[in-house]
Structure 1
Amino acid sequence: MKLRTKYILFVVILHLITLVLTYFIFEQNKVFFIVSEVFIIISIVIAWQLYRQLIQPLKLLMQGVDAIKDKDFNVKFLSTGKHEIDELINVYNQMMDELRTERTRQEQQHFFLEKLIHTSPTGIIILDFDDRVQQVNPKALQLLNITEEQVHGYSIHELEHPLFKQIGELKSGETAVVKLDGVNSFKLQKSHFVDRGFSRHFVMIEDLTAEILAAEKKVYGKVIRMMAHEVNNTIGPVNSIMQSAMKTDQLWESHDFDSLKDALQVAMDRNQNLNLFMRNFADLVKLPKANKQPIILQKLINSVAKLMAVKAQENGVAFEFNLPNDAINIMADEQQLEQALINIVKNAIEAIEGTGVMKFTAMPAERKLVITDSGKGLNAEQHANLFSPFFSTKKDGQGIGLTLVREILLNHGFEFSLKTVAEGQTEFTIHYN
């Protein structure tokens, strides 16, 4: 039963009882009876006025509660001239002003935060309470090379992208640096915030590729220059002494010294090979800026294939070409790009055990060149370190070939990747401009 119903019922019953009692008490005295009835009528009027004065604040309170339920903080009440009600109205109006101000502040902060997340140069992934992807900013989509539809609403444990596997293994507050394909490196930082009393995670992804490549080049460049300096300073005088000795006929008049003469010649040849070895390393440091000129991609591929044809035949490898008839014009340094393709083809030939096939596929619409080989493929460790300086999968490898390829393609601003996509199918993909 509502409060006002109780009040009305109480007043009605009270006055009915009073009316009956006055009738029995003053039935003999009409004057007193009339006077008592007048007092009862006055009491009813006063009770009604009190009811109206008491119920009005309740009505105002109910209207205010309804406005708060509807989140309408613009509803305010005017003063009535009655002290008690005006006090209540003033408190309510102040509360509504504070709520409106706080809502405006929260909306501004939310808008600013959304704008900040959307335009952030750092990739941001926000998860819900069940670690499902709720929001991904454009930078994260770019770094992951995916669309929002491919990840939104999915659990990070369901997604196959290697970065999400790393994210799933991270705990809140942890940071990890992940190198996916031997070139691109990412810093992952996982943290959490409290939403409606429950913990939710978010992940920040930062591309460290440029910084790490620059740091690597600075370090190995310094090492190579130091090695080249020491080797040249040693080999030069030693070769000069041996050449002088070889040209002094008096030292070799006796046949007893023929073996020594042969040993000196072998030592000179080894020194020459060491010079060549160091020169290959020095090429990484001295690589000039790409002198880009218009070239035809099919012509460059055919030139490299002819150059590597003998080695391919010796290893039982056949070349296949899937190239369009229309010329594909690209801007590149022909000599540098040719050297990069030679190294790629050479590595692919050596990766094929026994007979096999190499295929050159050009996709003009996607501005992409794919070189596929039927070799044994790459394992996880090899894939992560492929383009690292001095890393080689061959027993006697120097780890220069793919590092030089990396530097040349980065020098051109070309994106690239090397990965085994299926058994007997490894692809080196170059996205040219």
Structure 2
Amino acid sequence: MSLGRGERADAKARTGLGWLLGARLLLAGLSLGLAATLDRIEAPEYGSGIEGVYWTVVAAFLATIASALMVARTRNPTRFATVQVAIDVLIVTALVYFSGGRESVFTFLYALVILYGALFLDRNGVVLSAGLGAAGYGFVLFGVEVGWLPSVGGPSGTRPLPVLGAYWGFYAGALLVLGMLANTLSAELRRTGAALDRSTTDLRRLRDLHLRTVESIESGLLTTDEDGHVTSFNPEAERITGTKVRDALGRRLEELIPGAQAILETADANPSDGGPVGRERISYRNARGEELFLGMASSSLRDEGGDQVGHVVIFQDVTSVVSMERELRQSERLAAVGEMAARMAHEIRNPLASISGSVQVLQGDGGQEDPDPERARLMGIVLREVDRLNHLISDFLRYSRPAPLKMEPVPLAGLVEEIAEMSESRCDADFEVSLGLDRTVVVMADPSQLRAVIWNLWNNASEAMAEWHGERRLSARVLRIPGDATQGAGTAGRNDPCEGSAPAPTTGETAVLEIEDSGPGIEFEVQARIFEPFFTTKRDGTGLGLATVQRIVEQHGGAIEVSSQPGEGTLFRMCLRCVGSIP
């Protein structure tokens, strides 16, 4: 948890008090060392005064301990610091008195106290500490000389009072000048330190803002050096590529995102003062094996001198955009197909009916078999192909002009069981059918059209395994999942209105039908086009079966998708809004 400005100032003041007490310890330790030296070298001259020095040093240590215990409870750090400096002046005055007065070796400690006091006190406090130091020194100097204080140690001798006054005045002035100079330097140091703290804080905030911006941006962002090695990698880039930051740093960009190097070369060939070049789109398989499309742009990365030191690459997952563009193109084609369908019905079906009728008349002419077998065979071919062409036109019209939906609650599991029973007689002995049905799932649908969807998917799965030499297993599952998995799907009746009552309220759940086979699977390139009209891989297919399935599912406000791996089978998943359940 960060501290407020007042809390930070209070913490800083208490730290300063700690340094102040540390200075007193230094003063006491230095005094103890000098006392020991004097005691060993000049003991006869100081006599009993040396004991006073020792007791003063002990008092200094005790005062430090007592002050340290009071630091945490003090409410006014400035006043506390002033009192501590005054105690230090008193300690130095006692040391000077017990060690010889004006001849004492401890007089320099006044300057030391004034110096470290100037680091923690304001100008008034420095003047006060300098005044206390001068007063204490004058009290010892004149007190011993005029007899107010007994002489307890050190060399003795008398001097005229004017000389002592001049000596004291010079020393007091030096202390004041020293204190003011130290205080000025300390104040300037504090201002410089505060400015440095503000600059450091601003720099830290700017750095944090930069990091949060880079981490929060909903686009992949990375930088490279001049050799194309990745030097930074934001979380969104990690999510899109499926590569951890630690694995991406230091790798060549072309290894991480094949095709990106060409975009960098385009950026170098078309300089734009560091601005991004035109956006490029590339296909990409990430570390998780997902097939994506990336929209990518690059610009030069320059140092403070304007020299290029690498590249900035920004990219996004535009797979959904590509998918929507494909759907839009398909919708445009379907609109054209719909316009053409009505004309084709009249222009082609009528001649076909005439041809079929004429051939049948020729076949049955006279009520006898045609004596020419070749002629009979050819007429049979004509009738068969006319029927096939008529069937193709019917499929085409059914796809381009879907019938209005007659919506009603439909138990999804019941339709699946019905289709399974119908296809049972067509299955070989080694053909295994597995059903996993939630019989409580109910959807709002047109039963006949939904039955056509399930039949088409079931028939495709059966045909896929007809010539398959591996395991032949067909599984159908009906289940419900929480949430609406049909978001973004077509709405019911977008081409033709639904007949019947108003739509039933949904339960907030999704009904899912999965039909899976263990056949040869579907190539990825084929999966991308499998719902396109007239696209087929069957020798006699029309290419309208799955296109019609998708159209019907979207009319119901649902969605359908395919998932397949070559050699591992195929799974079709249809999602519709669940409108209730059967007890």
Give me the whole-angstrom Cα distance separating, in 2, the residues matched to 1:179 and 1:297.
37
Cross-structure match for 2:235: 135
Report deviation, 1:425. Answer: 3.7
**CA, structure 1 residues 223+295, in 2 after alignment: closer, same or farther (shift >3 Å)?**
closer
Give me the whole-angstrom Cα distance separating, in 2, the residues matched to 1:416 and 1:167.
33
Give me the whole-angstrom Cα distance separating, in 2, the residues matched to 1:271 and 1:380.
35
**CA, structure 1 residues 168+346, in 2 after alignment: closer, same or farther (shift >3 Å)?**
same
Partner amino acid, structure 2, of 1:362: V
Partner amino acid, structure 1, of 2:519: G
Cross-structure match for 1:60: 190
**CA, structure 1 residues 246+285, in 2 after alignment: closer, same or farther (shift >3 Å)?**
closer
Alignment of 1:205 onto 2:317:
yes
Cross-structure match for 1:218: 332
Partner amino acid, structure 2, of 1:176: I
Cross-structure match for 2:513: 369
Checking the alignment, whether the CA contact within 8 Å between 1:290 and 1:333 is kept in structure 2 is: yes
Cross-structure match for 1:360: 476
Give me the whole-angstrom Cα distance separating, in 2, the residues matched to 1:422 and 1:264.
42
Report deviation, 1:56. Answer: 4.7
Give me the whole-angstrom Cα distance separating, in 2, the residues matched to 1:302 and 1:281.
28
> Of 246, 254, 257, which aligns to 1:168?
257
Structure 1 unmatched ranges of 5 or more: 9-29, 72-98, 118-122, 145-149, 158-164
Report deviation, 1:321. Answer: 1.7
> Of 274, 278, 298, which aligns to 2:413?
298
Partner amino acid, structure 2, of 1:339: A
Give me the whole-angstrom Cα distance separating, in 2, the residues matched to 1:37 and 1:174.
87
Alignment of 1:389 onto 2:512:
no
The secondary structure found in structure 2 opposite 1:189 is strand
Give me the whole-angstrom Cα distance separating, in 1, the residues matched to 2:464 and 2:329.
30
Give a deviation string over 1:8-35, Cα, whole Å, max 9, x none. 9xxxxxxxxxxxxxxxxxxxxx9xx99x
Report deviation, 1:346. Answer: 1.0
> Of 401, 413, 419, which aligns to 2:545?
401
Alignment of 1:275 onto 2:390:
yes
Partner amino acid, structure 2, of 1:135: P
The secondary structure found in structure 2 opposite 1:218 is helix
What are the residue-to-residue correspondences of 1:323-362 with 2, within 5 Å?
323-324=437-438, 326-352=439-465, 353=467, 356-362=472-478
Give me the whole-angstrom Cα distance separating, in 1, the residues matched to 2:513 and 2:348.
44
Partner amino acid, structure 2, of 1:64: A
**CA, structure 1 residues 342+233, in 2 after alignment: closer, same or farther (shift >3 Å)?**
same
Give me the whole-angstrom Cα distance separating, in 1, the residues matched to 2:541 and 2:298.
46
Deviation beyond 6 Å, 4+ runs, structure 1: 36-43, 109-115, 177-180, 195-198, 251-262
Give me the whole-angstrom Cα distance separating, in 1, the residues matched to 2:280 and 2:461.
39
Checking the alignment, whether the CA contact within 8 Å between 2:396 and 2:544 is kept in structure 1 is: yes
**CA, structure 1 residues 307+124, in 2 after alignment: closer, same or farther (shift >3 Å)?**
farther
Report deviation, 1:247. Answer: 5.8
Cross-structure match for 1:321: 435
Give me the whole-angstrom Cα distance separating, in 1, the residues matched to 2:566 and 2:168.
105
Larger Rg, first or second structure (1 or 2): 2
Cross-structure match for 2:560: 416
Give me the whole-angstrom Cα distance separating, in 2, the residues matched to 1:41 and 1:334.
112
Greater RCO, CA 8 A, separation 6+: 1
Partner amino acid, structure 2, of 1:308: S
**CA, structure 1 residues 392+45, in 2 after alignment: closer, same or farther (shift >3 Å)?**
same
Give a deviation string over 1:204-226, Cα, whole Å, max 9, x none. 23323344213213214424753
Checking the alignment, whether the CA contact within 8 Å between 1:190 and 1:204 is kept in structure 2 is: yes
Report deviation, 1:168. Answer: 2.7
Cross-structure match for 1:94: none
**CA, structure 1 residues 285+242, in 2 after alignment: closer, same or farther (shift >3 Å)?**
closer
Give a deviation string over 1:95-144, Cα, whole Å, max 9, x none. xxxx69x969x96x9989988x5xxxxx644558758874349xx98xx9
**CA, structure 1 residues 296+156, in 2 after alignment: closer, same or farther (shift >3 Å)?**
farther
Give me the whole-angstrom Cα distance separating, in 2, the residues matched to 1:363 and 1:225.
39
**CA, structure 1 residues 399+156, in 2 after alignment: closer, same or farther (shift >3 Å)?**
farther
The two structures have a TM-score, normalised by structure 1, of 0.61
Report deviation, 1:301. Answer: 0.3
Report deviation, 1:327. Answer: 2.8
The two structures have a TM-score, normalised by structure 2, of 0.47
Give a deviation string over 1:156-192, Cα, whole Å, max 9, x none. 79xxxxxxx9983341553136899xxx997521245
Checking the alignment, whether the CA contact within 8 Å between 2:521 and 2:564 is kept in structure 1 is: yes
Q: Percent identity?
A: 17
The secondary structure found in structure 1 opposite 2:564 is strand
Report deviation, 1:398. Answer: 2.1
Give me the whole-angstrom Cα distance separating, in 2, the residues matched to 1:131 and 1:420.
37
Give me the whole-angstrom Cα distance separating, in 2, the residues matched to 1:39 and 1:428.
104
What are the residue-to-residue correspondences of 1:85-124 with 2, within 5 Å?
124=219
Report deviation, 1:344. Answer: 0.8
What are the residue-to-residue correspondences of 1:1-20 with 2, within 5 Å?
none
Cross-structure match for 1:160: none
Checking the alignment, whether the CA contact within 8 Å between 1:126 and 1:133 is kept in structure 2 is: yes
Cross-structure match for 2:81: none
The secondary structure found in structure 1 opposite 2:427 is helix
Alignment of 1:188 onto 2:318:
no
